[in-house]
């Protein structure tokens, strides 16, 4: 019993000293990497450079998606695949499934 108690105390002291050393010597970086200005980014990643550029890229993406949701376009003319406004696509889907009953 005394040997296991001494071992337990030794392990606790060892752990406490480790925590003390880490606490005294650890210095976090001044700026977090995600807040630093990015340099030398490739063109496809330039939108990630700043919060403003990410916000602008998101607004552009949402505008493009809204246009796609409300317009007609050819996806593949050869195979006859078209892009329909979402409202019209839902109407056609409802009509198609009603006809199967």
Find, among 60, 54, 87, the residue nearest to 72 by Cα: 87
Local confidence pLDDT in tens for the 101 residues of the chain: 677 889 999 999 999 999 999 988 888 766 656 656 666 777 777 777 778 888 888 999 999 999 999 999 999 999 999 999 999 999 999 999 997 76
Query: Cα separation of 101 and 91, whole Å?
Result: 16
């Amino acid at each position: 019993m005394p040997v296991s108690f001494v071992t337990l105390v030794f392990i606790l002291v060892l752990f406490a000293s480790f925590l003390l050393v880490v606490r005294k010597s650890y210095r976090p970086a001044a700026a977090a990497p995600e807040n630093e200005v990015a340099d030398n980014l490739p063109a496809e990643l330039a939108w990630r450079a700043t919060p403003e550029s990410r916000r602008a890229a998101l607004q552009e993406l949402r505008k493009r998606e809204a246009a796609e949701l409300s317009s007609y376009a050819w996806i593949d003319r050869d195979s006859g695949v078209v892009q329909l406004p979402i409202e019209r696509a839902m109407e056609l889907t409802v009509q198609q499934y009603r006809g199967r009953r």
